Amino acid sequence: MTTDEDRDGIGYVPDEGEPDADEAKAREKIVRDDPAQKKRNIHRKHYPKVPEAEDPLKKANAERDEFKDKYLRGLAEMDNFRKRMKKEKDEFQKYVLTEFFLDLLQVYDNLERALKAKTNEQEKGVVSGVEMIRKQFLELLKKYQVLEIDALGKNFDPSFHEALSKEEREGVSQPVVIEVYQKGFTYNNKLLRPVLTKVAVPAVNTPPAESEPNS
């Protein structure tokens, strides 16, 4: 094998197979000047590395989560729709009998008139029978949440009372129901029919009621 000393000596001859320095430089220049090699160098310099392909399992998990979210939101919307429909159905069933009860109350009015029209002792049996029917009638109305409005002697309330006449009275500070011409009723806590009343109102010379001091 040739040593550095041998190379520095006079008459140095390279070993067989060992490239000459000038030959090595010439080869490097050829490679450097090769158009294909230049193209490869330009490609590496100006074009970024192609990203790796997306993990199929990760993509599948993301799609699964998206479908699950859509499914749960769909279930929630269906549940809300079902509850809303049930509420509307209950409200409809609750007040669908309003017209029927209004017609039925006309029968009740006739029973009331019959009880007021008693004239002699011979009619007591008939009157007692009508009174029993009236009580049964009221119980039936109560069963279906049709309740009589207690108005006589109460302060006039335009939400439930309707005044057909009025009378001035001394000592009255605000309108009061003093007579009921026709009874009123509520149905499921809503007004079905107002009470037809006669109302006592303060006399013209009656001073207005003093307002109570704030506590």
Lowest mean pLDDT among 3-7, 80-84, 162-166: 3-7
The candidate with the shortest Cα–Cα distance to 161, out of 146, 142, 183, is 183
CA angle 84, 90, 91 (to 5 degrees): 90
Q: Percent of the chain scored above 90 by pLDDT? A: 22
Whole-angstrom distance, CA of residue 207 vs CA of residue 200: 15
Q: Percent of the chain scored above 70 by pLDDT? A: 66
pLDDT band at residue 180 using 50, 70 and 90 as cut-offs: very high
pLDDT surpassing 90 at residue 175: yes
SS3 call for 70: helix
| 188 touches 154 (CB < 8 A) | no
- pLDDT, tens only, 34-72: 666 555 655 555 555 656 667 788 888 888 888 888 888
Whole-angstrom distance, CA of residue 194 vs CA of residue 186: 8
Whole-angstrom distance, CA of residue 192 vs CA of residue 195: 10
Bridge partners, residue 200, by sequence: 167, 176
CATH class of 146-207: mainly beta
Kindly report the pTM of this predicted structure: 0.51
Lowest mean pLDDT among 43-47, 88-92, 146-150, 185-189: 43-47
